[in-house]
Amino acid sequence: MDGWISGIFVYIVVWWVALFAVLPWGVRTPDNPEPGMASSAPVEPRMLQKVVATSVVALVIWLVIYAIGQSGLVSFRDMIKDM
């Protein structure tokens, strides 16, 4: 990554992808849903815990992407030139 702005954008994209991977963790549906409620609605969504877990997972993934970019192992600029 060339600058801190591109790093922020990469983190945001990784964060959203990680959110959709983390959302199903620990979901339980009610045994007897109330009338008018979806039977698939979670009992306790625990969104704050999922946002924190998403942030940690996204940070780890972002650090791996950053390390690969800084190591020169994969050059994203050379990949674009070859296209």
Flag whether pLDDT at 22 surpasses 70: yes
Q: 46-79: per-residue pLDDT in tens?
A: 999 999 999 999 999 999 999 988 887 877 777 7
Confidence of residue 20 (pLDDT cuts 50, 70, 90): very high
- Does the pTM surpass 0.95? The reply is no
Ranges of H-type helices in 1-83:
4-22, 47-71, 76-82
What local confidence, expressed as pLDDT, does residue 77 receive? 75
Query: Which residue range is the domain that position 75 belongs to?
Result: 4-30+38-82
Give the whole-angstrom CA distance, residue 24 versus residue 65: 25
The one-letter code for the residue type at 27 is V
Q: Which residue from 54, 74, 49 is spatially nearest to 13, judged by alpha carbons?
A: 54
Q: Which residues contact 40 (CB under 8 A, 6 or more apart)?
A: 29
Number of domains in the chain: 1
Q: Give the SS3 label for residue 81.
A: helix
Q: Are 22 and 50 in contact (CB under 8 A)?
A: yes
Query: With 70 as the cut, is the pLDDT of residue 1 above it?
Result: no
